[in-house]
A and B are shown apart, each in its own frame.
Chain A
Amino acid sequence: MQRSVKSRAVRQAINFCRSQHSKVATESEAPAEWKGVVGLEIHAQISTSSKLFSRSSTEFNSPVNENVALFDAAIPGTLPVINKACVESALLTALALQCRINPASTFDRKHYFYADMPAGYQITQQRNALANNGVLRFYVTPPDGKPYLKSSKLKQLQLEQDSGKSLHDIEGRKSLVDLNRAGIALMELVFEPDLSNGEEAASLVKELALIFRKLKTCSCKMEEGALRVDANVSVQKTNSTTLGPRTEIKNINSIRGVANAINFEIQRQIDANKRNERVVVETRAYDAQNKSTVAMRDKEEKQDYRFMPEPNLPPLRLAKGETGDKKIVSIDAILKRIPELPETLREKLMNEFDLVPIQAINLVNDEFLLELFYELCNQIENPNGRTVYGIIMIDLLSLLKQNSISYDKNPISTGNLLELYHLKQGRLISSHVVSKVMDALNQDPSKSAQKIVEENSWFLINDREVILKVCTEVVAENQKKVRAVLKGKKNSFGPLISAVDKKLNNQVDMQLARSIMEELIEKERNK
């Protein structure tokens, strides 16, 4: 017995290696020696009610040029006054990302002429940012594979102003400027180029968004431009440390776009290399429709931003301990405000409730369902996390999705979810019945799960005699499949069980059915 288990594991391992190997092999016939190197720069609007250096509102969708203080329009003589709430938000974010905080950071002017940049420069933190050297750990879930942990180093987190928006009327040869967005606080996060493909990049952005929402420092509404991603992409030979020329994809505004744009760009660069064409250092834009990137016309030559220290803002000083001075932000005070972060939540779920990584990831990605998970677990003595997970994340979620029901209109009460849990966990009903009960509850939420099961006699069938009888029937009716199983074709075993389940109205105790069926087949072998 011991031996067979071991050998199965070894066999699996070999199979795994083989499949991996064959995958690599097929790829290496074409490019394989090239791999992508990706670094992200992320701009996140800080969700404060007023701007970084003025008191005007940051509300999205306000009438054009409504939220414009004199400073935002760069009216001569106006001066920047820093918004403490923005500093606190950026600091909270930096601390959550385990950054080293600069006790005194400074602001710089970055110069360039653009119609929606009224002062002719952006106030940013180039030389001495708020925070450096953070790290973000996150799970990458490749489309076809197991999730794995990845981490990316955060080089810098800085505060800066957003620009306004330009509208170009090509026919009328006119440009219109809306300064509502000008001066909104941004956190710019610059990550080291330690990712290798679009999925990793998308996963990073997802995790970051999760953290921002948890911290309430950014709305992360990518469609409103609250979170914008720039990706630096180059390719490198796997056996080399020299990077190829780097392109920058600007302003990607969806998570799917991040993955697609980067994967396209990596492939484009690999193809160019294979054709011995030079990859040009340039800025590219993502074309969501064609899932491709295209060269942008501006910034043809390298701009010199002529950085200069912002003379109107003294260094931004942060206090270590608590201070009596209300004007100074205390690092320790902000540190206390960090809630439980996704990474910790996932670890807890895996340790306390024995969930596998993908289950923990899925739960943490959904605040509502995570809360429900905890609510149920708290009301159960020694809860089985995986059973609770199944009820919520498989049965409940598919009910809601199939019927397009929003979370706030969830028809299944916590009481009924608990009843379902106990029925399932006590092996009184099958998985299939759980979803049938939910359908019934969706029709009439006032009913009790327990009652529905009772009324319909949907209890799990675990009477050995009954199952044996049906199994025997199935064996008799499916001789072909039985013979196949006997020849070693494992695939044919499942359909036999399904047939049993079906005959028993999807109420059979699967485990029991399996062992009975195995016995029967062994008997057949001996015939």
Chain B
Amino acid sequence: MTIKQLSKELQDMTIAPTKLCEASLKRIKNSKYLNNFITISKELAYEQAQASEKLIKAGETRSPLEGLPVAVKDNFCTKNIRTSCASKMLENFIPTYNATVVQKLVDHGAVIVGKTNMDEFAMGSGAVDSAFGPTKNVWKTPSGHLKVNTFQGNQTKAVDAEEDWFIAGGSSGGSAAAVASGACVAALGSDTGGSTRIPAAYCGIVGLKPTYGLLSRHGLIPLVNSMDVPGILTRNVDDTTLIFNLLAGWDPKDSTTVQEDFEPIDLESDFNLRNITIGIPQEYHSPGIDAQVLNSWSSVTTLLEKLGATIVPVSLPHTKYSIACYSILNHCEVASNMARYDGIEYGLRSAEQQSTEEMFAKSRSQGLNQVVRGRVISGNYFLLSRNYENHFLQALRLRRLIANDFLNVWANGVDLLLTPVTLGEAPRFSEFTLKDNREQCATQDYCTQPANLAGCPAISIPTQLSKNGMPLGLQLLAPNFDDAI
């Protein structure tokens, strides 16, 4: 069911928002084995559902989202709901304000059921590096019931079963798993290098990374300010559009949002592909890409061509440098953004009493995981005045070249780019953890982070199932601010 259809049920009062809320919370409870939620906001959700129920009865529905359960990634500040960023550092951080996008959801009548799991401070592509444990993919993961049974059985078997599951992808893995498991109609993720699109692809749902500057970042705890965007995870493109229209627009609290008035997008039902030129960037044929992904890529290309689209091969020559450029910029901003976690104003404070400096150091090493600390160190190294020119500035120049690659393609009459999202299907946990976070990010983000460097919109859409029965997705990219397509 789409949001519109579900909304109609609520309007017709065939389902009551409180009942829907209850069902959603039950689903979350039953799928606890996925570990996709960090905090469940049961009481607030009920309050919101009750309010919706009253408004629906009074005929004062605020939007098609009225009374519908929505989940929010745990790096968006939510008033009176713990916002941990999946870190020990913020384990007890309860914001006093809502992020702008959260506030918009609330104002449009959404029921916030909880905060979803993620990689700590969104640093990761697997949703495995969380202080609250990894998130599991809803596809092919033994249910909680099964798991308990396995545990009661033979020990080795239990370990096998434990490692048998597929990862949800990250860093917005909890949000993707929440939508895929049916716990909510939509979830907010964030996307810095692919954190919304990758888990969407692995979980078989739609994940949108909008153009930088269209959705407010106010209240989104930053990973990389110049690339972060709130992402939208839904089960279909209609729902994506609906949520996107509700959330987009200028926010005076975020100076990087675009000040022009936002025109809501209207998806045409008789969309004609004949006027559309789709580019296939050859650089995305990266080594190590799964044959099934390539297959899916070419079959969809053929399908689009049959439907009338003009298909052209294009080149984005600087793609191969993209991941290095992305890593440097990412680590530099991380080093800076993480500097505030010193245990003074909020967050974990170590009991250390020796000196202020000692207290800072202990709080940070106790509160932040190794991935975060590693990036802080390398980022600070790149920012040292002796390295700034050779690393940070070079990376900024490279970023300009990468963005220009996209501009050239658009200037040559290409409307959309079709690329893979990931190099393969969701890996198994055991497989994924063979490599460390840094290596995994370099692999997993290969196809996704160029869009973040360029700021352009990208959407991950499920296309087919792999031989293993795991979902595969493809990515469409468009020129900045042409999110409509």
Chain A positions near chain B (C-beta within 8 angstroms): 70, 73-82, 109, 111, 113, 115, 118-121, 173, 175, 177, 179, 304-308, 311-314, 327
Are B342 and A113 touching (Cβ within 8 A)? yes
- Given known contacts A76-B93, A119-B339, A175-B356, A312 and B225 CB-to-CB distance under 8 angstroms: yes
Contact with A along B296-307 (1 / 0, CB 8 A): 000000000000
| Chain B residues whose CB sits within 8 angstroms of the CB of A119 once the complex forms | 339-340
B253 within 8 A of A: yes
26 contacts between A and B (CB under 8 A): A73-B346, A75-B96, A75-B345, A75-B346, A76-B85, A76-B95, A76-B221, A77-B219, A77-B222, A79-B217, A81-B255, A111-B383, A113-B357, A115-B342, A115-B344, A118-B342, A118-B345, A305-B385, A306-B385, A307-B383, A308-B336, A308-B383, A308-B392, A312-B217, A313-B256, A314-B256
Instruction: Identify which of A79, A115, A175, A311 contacts B218 (C-beta below 8 A).
Output: A79
B312 within 8 A of A: no
Are B384 and A79 touching (Cβ within 8 A)? no
Distance from A173 Cβ to chain B, minimum over Cβ atoms (Å) = 7
Are B93 and A306 touching (Cβ within 8 A)? no
Query: Which 10 A-B pairs give the minimum distances between C-beta atoms?
Result: A120-B339, A306-B383, A311-B225, A311-B226, A76-B221, A74-B340, A77-B219, A77-B77, A73-B345, A119-B340
B266 within 8 A of A: no
| Chain B residues whose CB sits within 8 angstroms of the CB of A121 once the complex forms | 336, 339
Chain B positions near chain A (C-beta within 8 angstroms): 76-77, 83, 85, 90, 93, 95-97, 99, 217-222, 224-226, 252-256, 259, 332-333, 335-336, 338-340, 342, 344-346, 353, 356-357, 360, 380, 383-385, 388, 392
Are A113 and B339 touching (Cβ within 8 A)? yes
| Chain A residues whose CB sits within 8 angstroms of the CB of B345 once the complex forms | 73-75, 118, 179
Distance from A128 Cβ to chain B, minimum over Cβ atoms (Å) = 14
Q: Which residue on chain B has the smallest CB distance to residue A168? A: B356
| Chain A residues whose CB sits within 8 angstroms of the CB of B339 once the complex forms | 111, 113, 119-121
Bound-state Cα–Cα, A82 to B219, Å: 17
Residue with the greatest number of chain A CB neighbours at <10 A, chosen from B77, B83, B332, B344? B344
Instruction: Identify which of A82, A115, A177, A307 contacts B388 (C-beta below 8 A).
Output: A307
User: Would you call the interface of chain A mostly helix, strand, loop, or mixed?
Assistant: loop
Are B255 and A82 touching (Cβ within 8 A)? yes
| Chain A residues whose CB sits within 8 angstroms of the CB of B219 once the complex forms | 77-78
Instruction: Identify which of A76, A305, A314 contacts B77 (C-beta below 8 A).
Output: A76
Bound-state Cα–Cα, A327 to B260, Å: 13
| Chain B residues whose CB sits within 8 angstroms of the CB of A304 once the complex forms | 384-385
Distance from B230 Cβ to chain A, minimum over Cβ atoms (Å) = 11
Are A306 and B333 touching (Cβ within 8 A)? no
Bound-state Cα–Cα, A450 to B339, Å: 74
Q: Which residue on chain B has the smallest CB distance to residue A71? A: B253
Are A77 and B99 touching (Cβ within 8 A)? yes
Distance from B328 Cβ to chain A, minimum over Cβ atoms (Å) = 12
Bound-state Cα–Cα, A70 to B97, Å: 9
Bound-state Cα–Cα, A79 to B100, Å: 11
| Chain B residues whose CB sits within 8 angstroms of the CB of A179 once the complex forms | 345
Bound-state Cα–Cα, A78 to B98, Å: 10
Residue with the greatest number of chain A CB neighbours at <10 A, chosen from B85, B333, B342? B342
Bound-state Cα–Cα, A388 to B76, Å: 69
Bound-state Cα–Cα, A68 to B345, Å: 11
Q: Which residue on chain B has the smallest CB distance to residue A53? A: B255
A76-B222, A312-B255 given; name 19 further pairs at CB < 8 Å.
A74-B340, A75-B346, A76-B83, A76-B85, A76-B90, A77-B77, A77-B218, A77-B219, A78-B219, A81-B253, A118-B342, A120-B340, A175-B356, A304-B384, A307-B383, A312-B217, A313-B255, A314-B255, A314-B256
Are B96 and A70 touching (Cβ within 8 A)? yes
Instruction: Identify which of B77, B97, B224, B336 contacts A111 (C-beta below 8 A).
Output: B336
- Given known contacts A75-B346, A118-B344, A119-B340, A80 and B385 CB-to-CB distance under 8 angstroms: no
- Given known contacts A74-B340, A77-B95, A115 and B252 CB-to-CB distance under 8 angstroms: no
| Chain B residues whose CB sits within 8 angstroms of the CB of A77 once the complex forms | 76-77, 83, 95, 99, 218-222
Distance from B302 Cβ to chain A, minimum over Cβ atoms (Å) = 41
Distance from B372 Cβ to chain A, minimum over Cβ atoms (Å) = 13
Distance from B368 Cβ to chain A, minimum over Cβ atoms (Å) = 13
Distance from B27 Cβ to chain A, minimum over Cβ atoms (Å) = 28
Distance from B86 Cβ to chain A, minimum over Cβ atoms (Å) = 13
| Chain B residues whose CB sits within 8 angstroms of the CB of A70 once the complex forms | 96-97
Bound-state Cα–Cα, A521 to B17, Å: 116
| Chain A residues whose CB sits within 8 angstroms of the CB of B97 once the complex forms | 70, 75
Are A79 and B344 touching (Cβ within 8 A)? no
- Given known contacts A77-B99, A82-B255, A120 and B218 CB-to-CB distance under 8 angstroms: no
Q: Which residue on chain B has the smallest CB distance to residue A173? A: B353
| Chain B residues whose CB sits within 8 angstroms of the CB of A120 once the complex forms | 336, 338-340, 342
- Given known contacts A77-B218, A79-B253, A306 and B335 CB-to-CB distance under 8 angstroms: yes
Bound-state Cα–Cα, A113 to B358, Å: 11
| Chain A residues whose CB sits within 8 angstroms of the CB of B255 once the complex forms | 79-82, 312-314
Q: Which residue on chain B has the smallest CB distance to residue A312? A: B225
Are A78 and B356 touching (Cβ within 8 A)? no
Bound-state Cα–Cα, A75 to B222, Å: 11
| Chain A residues whose CB sits within 8 angstroms of the CB of B340 once the complex forms | 74, 76, 118-120
| Chain A residues whose CB sits within 8 angstroms of the CB of B83 once the complex forms | 76-77
